[in-house]
């Protein structure tokens, strides 16, 4: 079955981690292990284009990410907004080159989405992957009025913050509302027709953003606080607000977001399986009373590897097992198809501009 994955840091892996995504995850693991790489996530990746193809992951929300330095992670942090802008534009250049080569098709409009889907249905073995461009943390937007430049570049979805504060909002591990620049950026996004990704927003920033922003909303890679406590997850009130806006929530596969009580550097993923991901999906469905708002946003290879995924995930191709697990819980085929791909396609068909 076709899978849509709403969160993959593909350019980060290619441009920052120097990974050749034309190789399978196993090939890249072998290279990194042979080179003696021991950092977190190295020699343990799960994503390459062959793995996407094997798992029928035909459409992804592909990120650009670069933060203005706040001391969290020097690999993705930069001293100024201008440098973050340049880094993110470099990641965009990587996607453009893949498009020139015919590996991907950047989905900018509803017509692009329909054309990509027709090609995929005709020949999923060779058709280009569909990429919807998503900015994780808005620091590469130097000022709100620059959003139009990014729109022209094909960017369609923006999250205001990542970890810690950005110029626009407060993200995971911090606390606070939108900034004045954040409110201005949301108005610019509304005018352009961009979509808002609320993943990583703190509670106060989340609720204010939904009060201010009128356009389509989603949580590309967020789990449920009722199952795994922590400010990175959505509480039930936040989930209900997204449902009221006809938003979609992508279940993430990072182990610390699936296993309560995770202690960094101590807890392991022993005993954790994809059933925990399905628990997240099911919780959203139970709150909504239907399957319309639950989907997949794996965040695989988002700075970690198989040491921090469910134990039955070897590569991203294993995302196919989610459909089997949903059926085992009594979900019908229409519901399974919605979670695996249909809900994201509906949101895009509603939220993307016409050509």
Q: Please provide the CATH number assigned to the domain covering 3-351.
A: 3.20.20.140
Q: Which residue in this structure is represented by tokens 């808005």?
A: 138
In sequence order, which residues have a C-beta less than 8 Å from that of residue 269 and are 6 or more positions away?
Answer: 255, 259, 307, 308, 309, 310, 311
For the stretch 117-146, pLDDT in tens is: 999 999 999 999 999 999 999 999 999 999
Q: How far apart are CA 66 and CA 78, in angstroms?
A: 7
The pLDDT of residue 72 is: 59
What string of DSSP letters covers 254-314?
A: -GGGTSTT--TTT---TT--THHHHHHHHHHHHHHTSSTTEEE---TTSS--GGGS-TT-S
The pLDDT of residue 71 is: 65
Reading the block at residue 35, the tokens are: 């080179």
The pLDDT of residue 264 is: 87
Q: How far apart are CA 195 and CA 134, in angstroms?
A: 9
Bridge pairing between strands 217-219 and 248-251: parallel
- Angle ∠(11,45,77) on CA atoms, nearest 5: 45
Using alpha carbons, select from 9, 307, 12 the residue that is nearest to residue 131. 9
What string of DSSP letters covers 149-170?
A: HHHHTTEEEEES-SBSB-SS-B
For the stretch 47-97, pLDDT in tens is: 999 999 999 999 999 999 999 976 656 789 999 999 999 999 999 999 999
Ranges of each domain in the chain: 3-351
**Which pLDDT tens digits describe the chain residue by residue (355 residues)?**
999 999 999 999 999 999 999 999 999 999 999 999 999 999 999 999 999 999 999 999 999 999 997 665 678 999 999 999 999 999 999 999 999 999 999 999 999 999 999 999 999 999 999 999 999 999 999 999 999 999 999 999 999 999 999 999 999 999 999 999 999 999 999 999 999 999 999 999 999 999 999 999 999 999 999 999 999 999 999 999 999 999 999 999 999 999 999 998 899 999 999 999 999 999 999 999 999 999 999 999 999 999 999 999 999 999 999 999 999 999 999 999 999 999 999 999 999 999 9
* Chain centroid offset of residue 23 CA: 21
Total Cβ atoms within 10 A of residue 245: 18
Q: Which residue in this structure is represented by tokens 């970890």?
A: 163
Among left, alpha and beta (phi > 0; psi -120 to 50; other), residue 225 is: alpha
DSSP state of 91: H
């Amino acid at each position: 079955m076709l899978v849509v994955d709403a969160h993959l840091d593909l350019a980060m892996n290619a441009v920052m981690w120097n990974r050749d995504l034309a190789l399978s995850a196993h090939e890249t693991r072998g290279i990194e292990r042979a080179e003696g790489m021991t950092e977190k996530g190295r020699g343990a990746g799960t994503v390459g284009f062959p793995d996407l193809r094997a798992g029928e992951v035909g459409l992804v929300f592909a990120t650009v990410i670069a933060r203005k330095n706040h001391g969290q992670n020097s690999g993705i942090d930069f001293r100024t907004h201008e440098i973050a802008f340049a880094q993110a534009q470099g990641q965009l250049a990587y996607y453009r080159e893949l498009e020139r080569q015919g590996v991907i098709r950047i989905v900018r409009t509803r017509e692009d989405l329909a054309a990509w889907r027709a090609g995929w249905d005709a020949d999923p073995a060779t058709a280009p992957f569909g990429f919807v461009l998503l900015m994780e943390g808005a620091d590469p937007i130097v000022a709100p009025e620059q959003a139009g430049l990014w729109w022209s570049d094909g960017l369609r979805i923006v999250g205001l913050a990542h970890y810690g504060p950005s110029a626009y909002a407060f993200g995971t591990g911090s606390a606070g509302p939108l900034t004045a620049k954040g409110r201005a950026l949301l108005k610019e996004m509304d005018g352009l027709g961009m979509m808002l990704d609320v993943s990583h927003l703190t509670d106060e920033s989340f609720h204010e953003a939904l009060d201010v922003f009128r356009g389509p909303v989603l949580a590309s890679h967020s789990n449920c606080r009722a199952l795994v406590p922590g400010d990175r997850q959505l509480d039930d009130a936040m989930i209900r607000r997204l449902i009221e806006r006809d938003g979609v929530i992508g279940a993430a596969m990072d182990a610390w977001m699936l296993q309560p009580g995770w202690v960094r550097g101590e807890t392991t993923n022993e005993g954790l399986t994809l059933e925990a991901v399905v628990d997240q999906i099911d919780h959203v469905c139970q709150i909504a009373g239907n399957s319309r708002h639950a989907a997949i946003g794996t965040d695989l290879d988002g700075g970690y590897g198989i040491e921090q995924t469910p134990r039955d995930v070897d590569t991203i191709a294993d995302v196919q097992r989610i459909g089997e697990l949903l059926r085992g819980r009594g979900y019908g085929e229409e519901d399974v198809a919605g979670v695996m791909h249909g809900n994201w396609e509906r949101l895009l068909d509603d939220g993307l501009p016409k050509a």
